Structure 1
Amino acid sequence: MHVQRFQAEGQSPSFTVVDEFGLPVPEIEEYLKYLRQTASPNTLKAYSRAIARWFEFLAPTNHTWLDFPTTFFGNFLQYLSTGEGNQVRALHPSSTVWLSSASVQQHAAAVSAFYTYHADANGLTTAYNKLHFRSSARRAPYQGFLTGIAPTGRTTKLAYSIRSGNKSRQPILRIEQVHQILEATATTSHNPRVTKRDQLLFTLLWETGMRIGEALNLTHQDMNTGQGETPFVDVVPRKEHPHGIRGKTFIPRRIYISDELENAYVEYLWELIDAGIDLDIPNVAGHYIFVNVNKAPLFAPMRVESVYQRIRAIRKHTPELPAFTPHWFRHTHATALLLAGTQPHVVMRRLGHTDVQTTLNTYGWVTDDAEMQAWEGWKNVTETWRGL
């Protein structure tokens, strides 16, 4: 079995699992069809891979996905971590690197969700019960005001837990490193349009805390240049990006931006107009902001791979920079806000988290870190950011 990528006309890329004859596996495809209604292409790919590995694990044992010993799931998780746990062929025979605890957890969650779906949709509870046990609360559970009216959730847990170890702190950039990256956008490209685009992208990620998928999905109509009022950008959840790029959540939000970021956008927009985007693209306002400006197809939406290509060029030119990714700007943005004294609920809304506890669990450590607090300039940096 292997994961197969496909893309229907006019739709985002998706994934399924096919057998040795190249045909979709019916029970897996049924679940993935349900999952496509809400999940991103990246989630679909990860879940497809995890379920395919589970089926591969079962295949040499002559057990089916509905009939297997309870211990097999524990063996499967151990196998993913160490390569040991069952007399089956290796998933990656040429590799000695096995999956991290976080990846094993993701595989467990995917297989659990697969069986949960079939238990709820098709009544196949026997296999579901092999992976889960009924949890018992030590005290009476909280009774909400919808008790007896709303459907109750499952009170079961996975039979095998995975130790995730200590959560590592999110990697961040120093303020001077952010400036180095922005300066390097000019020295690593001889094309002024590439420079303007990259400076806008990295400044946007740094000042707004957007995810890279959210940024690449922005259209020109999402940018409000102020016209005498405070400029802002609307983060609009979209699924139709031709390269399957999308944000993690579907909660729209508005982020007020600085005059500097507004000016960077206007300068980049004029570069696009000088290049003739209004002649090639009928509806510029509804077109993506970040596009190809130095290669064919001209003005086509930018790929994530192109962003990482530019990052590699910047790091080659500035080797003292860490091996950063676009998501480091989001971590740095949240860190700067919290160390500047911004209220956590404001940071929550700016990042697009669904609750403030997520923000505190992810970034709350920075306010207790003496070394982080000693880094200079956090408050000065955030002074020009709006809507705080």
Structure 2
Amino acid sequence: MAVRQRAIFGSEITYVVLDRHWRVVKPIEEYLEYLRQEKYSPNTVRAYAKGLALWWSMLEDRSLDWKRVDVQELARFKQRMLNRGTDPTVVKMRPAKPAAYSTVDLALTSVLSFYRYQAIVADIPAARQFYMHINGGTAQARSQYASFLGHIKGGQNRRVIGRRRDPKSPPPFLTPRQISVIKDDAAQFDPVAVQWVGDLRLRLFWTLLEETGLRLAEALLLQHGDWQPGTGATALIDIQPREDQRRRLRVKNQQYRRIYVSDALDNLYGEYLFSLVDLGLDIADSDSVFVNLFRGEFGNPVWPETIYDWIKGFRRRHPLLPAKWTPHWFRHSHATALLLAGVPEHVVQRRLGHSDIQTLMTTYAHVTEDAAMRAAADWKTLADRWRAVE
């Protein structure tokens, strides 16, 4: 069967698809290279490579030419995905739970995008013949897989295989009290010793996520030059379009934005800087804000795995908190607090970095309508500590 294989070219981590004989599938590789050159997210390349590997496996199992398929094969692929990789004609003694529709839809999207590329960008003869047909050609010129590429018409993507969405649940969040427990577990200030006890770096990390709503990648990609201390003015952070292939981190949409932060967060950052100097680190503007101090190579940027390993230990120490919380819950908590505190939607949109305000309104539509959420915690007190008005 075809497989998706992780590959490293210099410092770049990417993915290729290998057939059953462990050879690179050339048409898929050309398409993936096109995505890389067009600066698609590495996560998108990885997901599309996975979907195309599953598609190629089905073609190999059925001895089909990728250029000679029809809509029936796409329907079979969809059912095979729902059946978790098993041919839909096979009757299982113990049927597994169907795959999530979001997973199936992503695989279908990768396949349809691949064929669109072959028809329009690569301009292969059969695809070109079909594309001419749907834009005014004759029925006799129709290729054998025209029905399969029926979603390409007039520059629009129109699916010929229906899709379903999983029921959309409200995004999970942490209450102010739960956030305090997480921060205090990382580090607390000892008034007797007049110093921080614990991991001040992680205390800063969680406080930063709480107050800014940054994504994990955005926080770990921060450099000291991005943080503008509030020396006579309001402190701020510049989120730069940046990525790190080795750590599999990338600022989403590669968009710049500016976030103003409170004096309390800025002061905490200053204390963290002093602690780094005390440990003997030379700090430059191009250095990562969050670096290894207790594990890994000292002074090197923190990897996401370090954060998740800490969370595992925290869950053992605090079993009563939500068992499956992740750093992204801080982002949802930030948006929830701002909206419940009455901050205008367009301000929240800019702060979170959503390209479209509709994304914000769709994701958090339940927030302002849920009276019980307003009573769950004093969200306004929490949000008033932040500089959210820009």
Q: Do the aligned residues in 2 keep the contact of 1:292 with 1:302 (CA within 8 Å)?
A: yes
2:318 maps to amino acid: T
Which residue does 1:326 correspond to in 2?
A: 327
1:338, 1:366 within 8 Å by CA — same for their partners in 2? yes
| One-letter code aligned to 1:342 | V
The offset of 1:86, in angstroms, is 3.9
Amino acid at match of 1:160: I
> What is the CA–CA distance in structure 2 between the aligned matches of 1:238 and 1:128, rounded to whole Å?
41
Instruction: Report if the CA contact (8 A) 2:102-2:166 is conserved.
Output: no
Superposed CA RMSD in Å reads 2.4
Residues in 1 aligned to 2:278 and 2:145: alpha-carbon distance in whole angstroms: 60
Counterpart contact for 2:237–2:261, Cα < 8 Å:
yes
Aligned residues: 361
Q: In 2, Cα distance between the equivalents of 1:204 and 1:66?
A: 51
The sequence identity of aligned pairs, in percent, is 37
Residue 259 (str. 1) matches residue 263 (str. 2): yes
Stretches of structure 2 that go unaligned for 5 or more consecutive residues are 128-142, 189-195
Q: Does the 8 Å CA contact 2:217/2:249 hold for their aligned counterparts?
A: yes
The reply on whether 1:130 has 2:157 as its aligned counterpart is no
Distance 1:134 1:118, change over 3 A: closer
From 246, 249, 273, the counterpart of 2:250: 246
Name the structure 2 match of 1:317.
Answer: 317
| Alpha carbons 2:151, 2:160 under 8 Å: kept | no
Aligned-residue offset at 1:95: 9.8
Amino acid at match of 1:202: W
1:3, distance to aligned residue in structure 2 (A): 1.4
1:205 CA displacement:
1.0
In the alignment, what sits opposite 1:16?
A: 16
Structure 1 pair 194/118, CA: closer, same or farther in 2 (3 Å)? farther
CA distance in 2, matches of 1:113, 1:208: 35
Distance 1:193 1:153 in 2: 63
Q: 1:193 to 1:80 in 2, by over 3 A?
A: farther
Secondary structure at 2:362 match in 1 = helix
Q: Summarize the alignment of residues 2-13 of structure 1 with structure 2, pairs less than 5 Å apart.
A: 2-9=3-10, 11-13=11-13
Counterpart secondary structure, 1:249: helix
Q: Return the letter of the residue paired with 1:65.
A: W
* TM-score, length basis structure 1: 0.87
Instruction: Compare 13-22 and 62-71 and name the one that shifted more.
Output: 13-22
Alignment correspondent of 2:176: 175
Structure 1 runs (4+) greater than 6 angstroms displaced = none
- Work out the CA distance in 1 between the residues paired with 2:177 and 2:346: 27
Q: Tell me whether 1:231 sits opposite 2:235 in the alignment.
A: yes
In structure 2, relative to structure 1, the CA distance for the partners of 1:43 and 1:265 (3 Å cut) is same
Q: 1:99 is matched by which residue type in structure 2?
A: A
- For residues 281-320 of structure 1, give each alpha carbon's deviation from its aligned partner in whole angstroms, at most 9, with x where no partner exists: xx62101111111123111111111111111111111111
**CA–CA separation in structure 2 for the residues paired with 1:55 and 1:102:** 20
Q: Could you list the per-position Cα deviations for residues 136-165 of structure 1 after superposition, in whole angstroms to 9, with x for gaps in the alignment?
A: xxxxxxxxxxxxxxxx96234111121114
Map of 1:201 onto structure 2: 205
Whether 2:275 is the aligned partner of 1:271: answer yes
Corresponding residue number in structure 1 for 2:116: 116
> TM-score w.r.t. structure 2 length?
0.86
Instruction: Quote the Cα distance in structure 2 between the aligned partners of 1:113 and 1:269.
Output: 47
Aligned counterparts of 2:154 and 2:299: Cα–Cα separation in 1: 48
Instruction: Choose 1 or 2 for highest CA Rg.
Output: 2
* 1:3–1:52 CA contact under 8 A, matched in 2: yes
* Structure 2 counterpart SS, 1:13: strand
Tell me, yes or no, if the aligned pair for 1:206 and 1:330 is still in contact at 8 Å: yes
1:361 and 2:362 are equivalent in the alignment = yes
3-state SS of the aligned residue for 2:366? Answer: helix
Q: 1:332 to 1:121 in 2, by over 3 A?
A: same
User: How far apart, CA to CA, are the structure 2 residues paired with 1:208 and 1:229?
Assistant: 18
Conserved? CA contact 1:12–1:239, under 8 Å: no
Note closer, same or farther for the CA distance 1:95–1:166 as it changes in structure 2 (3 Å cut): closer
Q: Which amino acid aligns with 2:100?
A: S
The residue type equivalent to 2:179 in the other structure is V
CA shift at 1:166, angstroms?
2.4
